[in-house]
Chain A
Amino acid sequence: MKLSLSVVKQWTVAAAAICGLFAVTAPTARAITCEVTPREIPITLSYHGAKLTITGQTAPDDDLILKISSEPHDTAMKYYGKVGGLVWMKKGGLEFKGVPGVYLVNTTADLSLILSETERDQYQLGYDAMAKATKIEDNKGLPAERKWFDEFTRFKEKEMIYKIQQGTITRRHGEKGNTFEIVVNWPYQAPPGIYNIDLLAVNNGKVVDKTATTFEVKRVGVIAALSKMAVDQAALYGIMSVLIALAAGTAVGAIFKKGGGSH
């Protein structure tokens, strides 16, 4: 009996340890989910951006960070500087290595308060974290100053394709469980392509759970046909552009014929 009690205790401890281990290593236990509607944004002739609704389930006491971004790539820019101490001119080029074309972050609270610096750096959350990971080179391949990264984010923010908004995710605790919802105004300036949505649940300054999904912004109809023609049949596209302009010009000229006269 003594022996069997000790075996039971050992099994209990082992079972508790295994459960504890699962609690730490298996984030699916928190069952974070993320759904995006629509999954495809069509670019039509009257397209002027769209509304993206992102919803899902989350643990009740976790904060949330939602990052929408495109795949990182190198971006070539020109920078302005003073020439001869008097005039502002484009002085040279800068290459920003591995930066996303679009970077939109939404959170339930202040990013710097809910997530440690180490974790922000690891998951590329916030401009400081991005700046640390981004190499900026000038024309000669030499590293450029950090101030140019700040200028870069300012430039992208003005284009509406970089934005960090804190406290914008709404959470609800009700019969349907712990849900969240955010409506993102998708900027029309964002080019067509596939975009990543990363949803992170954070607690005590650390990422405790995460999930990801994607959506596509796609040209359709006449927009798709014309874009394809401009690339695949450039000569025909050029001739068509010229002929239609000539026809429009002369047609309107003919309409105004009655208004003519001689000097």
Chain B
Amino acid sequence: MESPDSVVLTVLLFWPLVAALLVILFGSSDRLIKNGSIWASLLPLGLSIYLLFAYDIEGGGMQFEQVAEWIPQLNAGYHIGVDGLSIPLIFLTALLSTLSLYYSAGVINQRVKEYFFLMHLLEFSMLGVFLALDYVLFYVFWEISLVPMYFLIGIWGGANRGYAAIKFFIYTLVGSVAMLLAILGVYFATGTFDIVEAAAAQPFAGNLTLASLAFWGFFLGFAFKVPSFPFHTWLPDAHTEAPTAGSVILAGVLLKLGAYGMLRIMLPSFPEASVYWASWLVALGAIAIVYGAFVCVAQTDLKRLIAYSSVSHMGYVMLGIGAAATIMTPDALASAVDRFGLSAEAIQDSAAMALNGAALQMFNHGIITGALFFLVGIIYERAHTRDLSLFGGLATKTPHFYGLMLTAAFASLGLPGLAGFWAELFTFRGAFALMPYWAAFGTIGIVITAVYILYRIIQNVFLGEYDEHKLPHWTTVEGHQADGPTDMVGFEKVTMWPLIAAMFLLGIYPTPLINYFNRSAQELLAFVRNLV
């Protein structure tokens, strides 16, 4: 009798696919589909919580691994497993999926069957990317994730949805095909598609040209998804047009896939190329932070503003990853020791901090921006516009909404006591030690973030006098005529509170989460240290 732990990941992975098929085959009424979908999504959520507790942090490494034959001719297998990096992200995926399904049950009333089918399919593909330890499997899930999101934007999106959907698809497709070529390169260099084995075999070691080609192939694939400046132009369009839950998943999880890929694949597989190109990553990250923040200030559409804030906030992730990449080889570490006059341990600690900051930012950005997009959706369902100039003085009218928005917005700008703070602290603490000038440049972004959060969102939308002539037509969330803005209703509160609670919890006591990330950061550093 095999222990249930040996199949837990397979169940976790394929359950959403089963749910999707059930929706298509047996979804006879909208009510059944909605309730069934919400209940179905609790299983992956429960399993991901189980993984959080069952994962042995002390032992570390890949756990719950499962290996099966798939394409023996190519030496490509069904290999899945989790480590400290992927477990929190799997939890994030399951949590946001459940919340999105729950929220969507309240607001989606058109083509319900297709919608819930696609949402389950999306969860399936995202879990697959985080679980896959085989390049072919990884790529398959990576590409599948495009399709449901394309339909979600295209069918339930805003006025300009066709353009936004196709732009999203083609940009990310071009990136992923570049990654495919790099994957094939790695395969021919190492003879395996196994991500862990291939990294251990160090493809193109000693050949910086080929290693750089492969590095940039992967980078293009990941950078389009992150999205890193200057590959970010699809993001504002996709977000602005996507339905609320689509934006939440897009910002909350899909963007993380890119950063996850950098940590999982690029740094361990190509340490030399990572060192060589690290300053580029750091520069792109720092530019994204500052540029994204400045662009936010100029936005007139609330959702577009938050979309650009994602560009800025994902810049922190890039900054952290890039800073840690500078010391991926022993030579680079030695030269850093000389340059900064610090001990090797201190330098490595900084790198670990930068990595932890990046990973924390991935998780926290998922929670915070997920919440912000929900909140934008909540106001849009009532006002049917997102034009910032039409809002004002909502604080008195919708106090509950105001309170939650305030929390999420402050978490986003990194207020101590809320989740966002720790990620910024760790990232900048790590990056300052390794790339001081670019990190200093990046801090400009923090100031500008305060400007757009406080001035554009809080002051513009909530403070001041409420003027009923500015926006005369309001509805309730059900679509009935209303005299003015109405506050959040039950299902919206239930959607929001888990995220708000997480912001407080991780703001006050982030240690449990950091333990997971730190374990895998230390493993990565140990891995490159032990390479000859």
User: Are A and B part of the same complex?
Assistant: no
Query: Which A residues contact B (CB, under 8 angstroms)?
Result: none
